Amino acid sequence: MKEYWASLASILGVLAFCQSLLQVIFPPELRFASLKLLNRIFNMFTSYCYFDITEIDGVNTNELYNAVQLYLSSSVSISGSRLSLTRALNSSAITFGLTNNDSIFDTFNGVTVLWEHVVTQRQAQTFSWRPLPDEKRGFTLRIKKKDKNLILDSYLDYIMERANDIRRRNQDRLLYTNSRGGSLDSRGHPWESVPFKHPSTFETLAMDPVKKGEIMEDLKDFANGQSFYQKTGRAWKRGYLLYGPPGTGKSSMIAAMANYLGYDIYDLELTEVHTNSELRKLLMKTSSKSIIVIEDIDCSINLSNRKKSGGGGANPMGRGGGYYDTEMRSGSGSNGEDGGNSITLSGLLNFTDGLWSCCGSERIFVFTTNHIDKLDPALLRSGRMDMHIFMSYCSFPALKILLKNYLGYEEGDLEAAVLKQMEEIVGKAQMTPADISEVLIKNRRYKHKAVSELLEALKGRAERNLKNGGVREKINLMNNLELESEEEEQEKRALESPLEGSDVEDSCQKDEDEEEEKK
């Protein structure tokens, strides 16, 4: 046994002597050059190239590493066999990821690449103002040399976009409102936010399914239309006008749009904005992929229809003076001081469709009103309000959605006679989804009672509308007669006015002739 250990020690001694001899004969520079030469020879005969993406670049976190991690989570969760689970701060979803030293294939534009998650122990801590983790983490990307240009030009940008989309969808959506009086928060932002937890979706929205499908398709085309908007030279934004009686679901529609697209909501309170410059600053502080909402635009500030409020006067250019009148009336004349509001119609138009509206991308403007006839036509044209959505009284398809939401009734669960009565009466009743929802909520524990009371409420409202309709027709008839009589009087005055003018001219001419005779 002693002889074995003695021989082993001698062999180790010889190896150590040989190693030291090689280090003397071949200095570090020569060894490094040899390794470099061998790598070049190896790269000449291999068809792959490799790229390392480390977690920490110097002392800063590498954003590309986090993006790759998020991007691979969308495919790893389906195909991976051993996964790591994480949940980020302010996130409502669990993210899947590759475990240590695991690999996965990915395909982009028909090209297959290999990602490997490399984790090694850090050798020693160097001096740094920021302590480094004990493990070195990174991704190694293996691609074919012939695909190098394609991958580096577009694949990494695609990963960054997909990661931002995943991060946005995983995070809780926020509801913003502008600070009172334009004040700034601790971070210098004019918006205050709370988590957005509204449960409304297009599936639960009480609306005609055909119309609902059109809106969803339009939203989808907008969200996926970046290349289209760039090609056509248009700003990547879209405007929606929701109008209709109160209680028809305009706010629920906005919440459903936000949940469908995964956008944040900026609820703009115009009464807290004093000047047009403040309005522009608020727009500049909004993020992309957001919905900017101005509710009850006809009640916020005085932006009435110029044609109706212009007074019928004419300016020297042959146009009605209503535009300038509206501009002056919309403010208090205090230029925002002492709580005054000097937002003008032109300022609001520039906010939605001017140069300042292009300082971000993928934004949606939503205006709501109960009286569309009170709004100025300039605010309603395409480019500002691209899609007008009429939120009507509850229709029969919308009624079936409400019955399913609140009572769990499908179409086949109710008697055919009851459904037929509802179909015949719901259009005449003109009840809003909010009114019908209240009847169902009150009796949701007793489903049969809820249906019977709803049917009675529909019949009662229909009878009342029938009676009020006859009275309303008489009132409209009287108003039409009064208008006709006023128009006739105005025509008579218009015909008499030239005669009066000619009499004045004749008297003036007589005075001039008398003065000439005296001279």
Measured distance CA(432)–CA(436) in Å, rounded: 7
What residues have CB less than 8 Å from 214, skipping those under 6 apart?
none
Measured distance CA(361)–CA(236) in Å, rounded: 5
Amino acid at 276: N
How far, CA to CA in Å, does 25 sit from each of 13, 19, 21, 22, 45?
Answer: 18, 10, 6, 5, 30
**8 Å CB contact between 64 and 160:** yes
Q: How far is CA 280 from the centre of its chain?
A: 18
For residue 53, the model assigns a pLDDT of: 87
Amino acid at 478: M
**8 Å CB contact between 381 and 367:** no
For residue 248, the model assigns a pLDDT of: 92
Measured distance CA(361)–CA(309) in Å, rounded: 35
Q: What is the mean pLDDT of each run of 10 residues along the chain (519 residues)?
A: 61 63 64 65 71 76 83 63 63 64 82 85 58 74 83 83 79 83 63 89 93 95 89 89 93 94 91 85 86 86 54 40 38 44 76 72 90 85 88 93 91 86 91 93 89 93 83 54 59 54 48 53
What residues have CB less than 8 Å from 118, skipping those under 6 apart?
52, 101, 136, 137, 138, 139, 140
How far, CA to CA in Å, does 357 sit from each of 269, 286, 344, 384, 434?
Answer: 18, 11, 16, 10, 34
* Structure token pair of residue 341: 């509001």
* Structure token pair of residue 197: 């937890």
Look at residues 87, 295, 268, 291 and name the one whose alpha carbon lies nearest to residue 173: 291
DSSP secondary structure code for residue 270 in this structure = G
Measured distance CA(343)–CA(279) in Å, rounded: 8
pTM for this one? Answer: 0.65
Measured distance CA(100)–CA(137) in Å, rounded: 9
- In three-state secondary structure terms, 204 is coil
For residue 453, the model assigns a pLDDT of: 93
Q: What is the CA radius of gyration of the chain?
A: 37
Q: How far is CA 68 from the centre of its chain?
A: 25
**8 Å CB contact between 264 and 258:** yes
For residue 160, the model assigns a pLDDT of: 87
How far, CA to CA in Å, does 84 sit from each of 94, 99, 102, 138?
Answer: 10, 6, 11, 15
Measured distance CA(95)–CA(74) in Å, rounded: 8
> Which phi and psi (to 5°) does residue 367 adopt?
-110, 145
Q: How far is CA 456 from the centre of its chain?
A: 41
Q: Which residue has the tokens 């989808």?
A: 220
For residue 502, the model assigns a pLDDT of: 47
* Structure token pair of residue 167: 């991060």
